[in-house]
Amino acid sequence: MDQPADTELVEEIIDSEEVSCEAPHFETPLQKYMREYRLLNSMLISLFLMVLFLVCFWNLIIWTAPEGDGMSDFSDATPAPKQKKQQQQKVKLMQRQKAAKSSKSFNFQAKAISDIAAPDIDIKALDINPSIAISPMGDVGDVRVKVDMSALDKAFASTFMGMKSQANKICFIIDYSASMRGRDLVMRDELSTAIDKLPAVGSVCVMFFSGPTWLAGENANVLHKKWKGTNGAGWAPVAGFTPSRPKWIPVTPSTKKKLTEAVWETPLTFGTVWNNSFEWAFYLNPKPDIIYFMTDGNSNPKLQGMDIIKAKKGRTKIYTIGYGAPAGAKKPLEEIAAMTGGKSKFVGMEAIQKMEKAIPAKKKALVGKKKGKG
């Protein structure tokens, strides 16, 4: 009867010994973190794998081999589609140029108001935006202009008085000295006409001079007080005054209007020296293709600007116009034109007086109408 009780006692002792033999379990910090945040960790791992997959997929679909791989020993058998398109466009442009060579030719004829024999102007435009050179005298008589638009990718070329020259940028240097009084009407009329005929392309700069030099549109009387000098010793800005430097302005309807107003409104002032004007003209960047220099008088040989022109002329051509000028002015004006490849022209007083009679009274009334008074 005591055997079952002994058997139960032995089993309890064995169970207790097995329990006591098991080693206690210790959890590391990493295991604890993974257990407590297993959901968050699963989401982060899934997100990383998804991004990695998308990057690989994107490179497989979008990536193309770079052009001109320096490490490649082989070249493509055919050009890329973009290169094909560029070649096709180039071929079409060449075909249009070839087709236009014989068809894009225009003839223009203008009639000026004076009786002075005018030179023929033969202008060949080899640019999409050509500029046509117009003499500041308006070039009296018949003026014939031939324009050839056959080429679209070459520089604009013109022929004026038998000399070829570039004519994209034109600079006018005009005498506004007091000695012009009594004959300035024709000068103003011809200059405003020349400005009005400029095509709406290219750039222009208009400067006036007497003793000082100033830009068209500036107040001549005010500026004259900020210069000091004589015709014998030369003129220069007074200490502390810095004149406005010339710059190219585009030929637009607004530009033409402002320049024309300045031509008629600007008063005549004292002095006549040439050197400052040529110094200013070569401040322009880039340099002028053509300079039209018009004066009614001579300048001291030391103040004619010959040394400035020789040093800075580059490819600029200067066309000189003696406007009722004395005989002594003929030689230096011809020398300036010759050293730059330009031409020289003289207009006598009889011709000037005849031209003045043809100017309408309405235009004559414009002289000094606004800023020029006083």
Higher pLDDT, 65 or 311: 311
pLDDT at 249 over 80: yes
pLDDT at 123 over 60: no
pLDDT of amino acid 287: 94
- Class of residue 237 by CB neighbours under 10 A (exposed 0-12, middle 13-18, buried 19+): middle
Q: Does domain 169-364 have CATH number 3.40.50.410?
A: yes
The ranges assigned to domains in the chain are: 169-364
- Checking DSSP bridges between strand 213-215 and strand 344-347, what pairing results, if any? unpaired
Residue 133: CA count within 13 A, CB half-sphere? 33
- Secondary structure element (H or E) that encloses residue 346, with its range: strand 344-347
Span 54-80, average pLDDT = 59
**pLDDT, tens only, 255-281:** 999 999 999 999 999 999 999 999 999
Structure tokens at 299: 């300048």
pLDDT of amino acid 82: 57
Give the span between the Cα atoms of 253 and 43, in whole angstroms: 70
Q: Are the C-beta atoms of residues 147 and 103 closer than 8 Å to each other? A: no
Structure tokens at 206: 């208009």
pLDDT of amino acid 232: 93
Give the span between the Cα atoms of 288 and 316, in whole angstroms: 6
> With bands split at pLDDT 50, 70 and 90, how would you rate the model's confidence at 119?
very low
Give me the phi and psi of 138, to 5 degrees please. 80, -5
169 in the Ramachandran plot: left (φ > 0), alpha (ψ -120 to 50) or beta?
Answer: beta
Mean predicted lDDT score pLDDT of the chain = 75
**In the chain, pLDDT over 90 holds for what percent of residues?**
38
**pLDDT, tens only, 2-47:** 555 555 655 555 555 554 455 556 678 877 777 788 888 888 888 9
Give the span between the Cα atoms of 299 and 271, in whole angstroms: 9
> With bands split at pLDDT 50, 70 and 90, how would you rate the model's confidence at 242?
very high
Residue 94, strand partner residues: none
Q: Say which range, 8-17, 107-116, 194-203, has the weakest mean pLDDT.
A: 107-116
**pLDDT, tens only, 144-190:** 334 333 322 333 333 332 344 457 898 999 999 999 998 899 999 98
